[in-house]
Structure 1
Amino acid sequence: MRALNPYLNFNGTTEEAFNHYKSVFGGEFQMVMRYKDIPKGEVMDGCVDMQDQEIPKEEENYIMHISLMIGDSALMGCDVPSAMGKVNFGNSVSISFSAESREDADRVFAGLSEGGKIMMPMGDMFWGAYFGMATDKFGIDWMVSFDKNYQ
């Protein structure tokens, strides 16, 4: 099966962000791994490569990997340890969510934009979709749409 799964990196707020996303989208965490659970001497793939480096005590509970199932897709993420530098948020990545109805689009948009910034409120677009854009309180850009022609 082919899948496209967004992977989000945070500076210590992964758990808070993913609990928020779970409250918006529902779904269940398929996996939650913390840095303190890594066996000594292991090399980690994906988010970071920390071979020969110790995780600082205050970062042991940081999320090494988390996966939230949303329908048939997974939203994944991790906290980047300070030894790997800081995550710099920007506008180079957006996550597009296709809702099942206008009501679903409104609910998800309201949840994602709460505490964030609305860039384009939900509305009917010339291409036939009901669409809006927001940056959530964690700095992630979201596009929410409902298009009855693509359901």
Structure 2
Amino acid sequence: MKNQVTPYLIFDRKAKDALAFYAEVFQAEITDLQTYGEADFPTPEEANDLVLHAKIKKGDMLIMVSDTFPGNPLEVGNNVSLVLECESDSEIQHLYDAMCEKGLSLMELQDTFWGAKYGKVKDQFGVQWDLNFTK
């Protein structure tokens, strides 16, 4: 097993918006974008423009994204949080500010007892992020 877990985020008809947002926030590129309409299996016509699979990449960071298949309900909850280990004070501040703009701060960005700057955010798509910068 590799030493990295790749998060796979699933959205209800909002994957393209999420891809654009995350690509901008992380200054990353969107790759391997495929819609259900491009799939080699039958799909309902209303799913043609929905994202079957895509990746957001920057350096070693990889996030996979898709829309849920029509008819499969999506339940957004607080059972998943993604941890980002930041490389600088300016990076963690940028990510925190960008995600809070249309999202919600669950824990203010602050110095912690474990020697890091840390904040927790729920972004505009309901995804929770733990932002950590070990000093």
TM-score range, shorter chain: over 0.9
Aligned match of 1:102: 89
Which has the larger strand fraction? Answer: 2
Question: Matched residues in 2 for 1:145 and 1:71: separation?
Answer: 18
Question: Matched residues in 2 for 1:71 and 1:98: separation?
Answer: 13
Letter in 2 for 1:5: T
Q: What is the aligned counterpart of 2:98 among 86, 95, 111?
A: 111
Deviation digits for residues 20-40 of structure 1, max 9, x if unmatched?
A: 001000121221011111124
Percent identical pairs in the alignment equals 29
Q: Offset of 1:81 from its aligned partner? A: 1.5
Aligned match of 2:113: 126
Aligned match of 1:81: 69
Q: Is the 8 A contact 1:4 1:73 kept in 2?
A: no
Deviation digits for residues 4-62 of structure 1, max 9, x if unmatched?
A: 1100011010110011001000121221011111124xxxxxxxxxxxxx422222110
Letter in 1 for 2:108: P
In the alignment, structure 1 segments of 5+ residues that lack a partner are: 41-53
Q: What is the aligned counterpart of 2:44 among 56, 59, 62?
A: 56
Note if 1:93 corresponds to 2:95. Answer: no
Aligned match of 2:37: 36
Aligned match of 1:51: none
Q: Is the 8 A contact 2:92 2:133 kept in 1?
A: yes
Q: Offset of 1:70 from its aligned partner? A: 2.7
Moved over 2 A (4+): none
Aligned match of 1:138: 125
Deviation digits for residues 86-117 of structure 1, max 9, x if unmatched?
A: 11000110011111111100001111222111
Question: Matched residues in 2 for 1:16 and 1:137: separation?
Answer: 10
Aligned match of 2:6: 5
Question: Matched residues in 2 for 1:36 and 1:129: separation?
Answer: 45
Give the alignment's Cα RMSD to 1 decimal: 1.3
Question: Matched residues in 2 for 1:30 and 1:39: separation?
Answer: 19
Letter in 1 for 2:105: I
Q: Secondary structure at the residue paired with 1:82?
A: coil
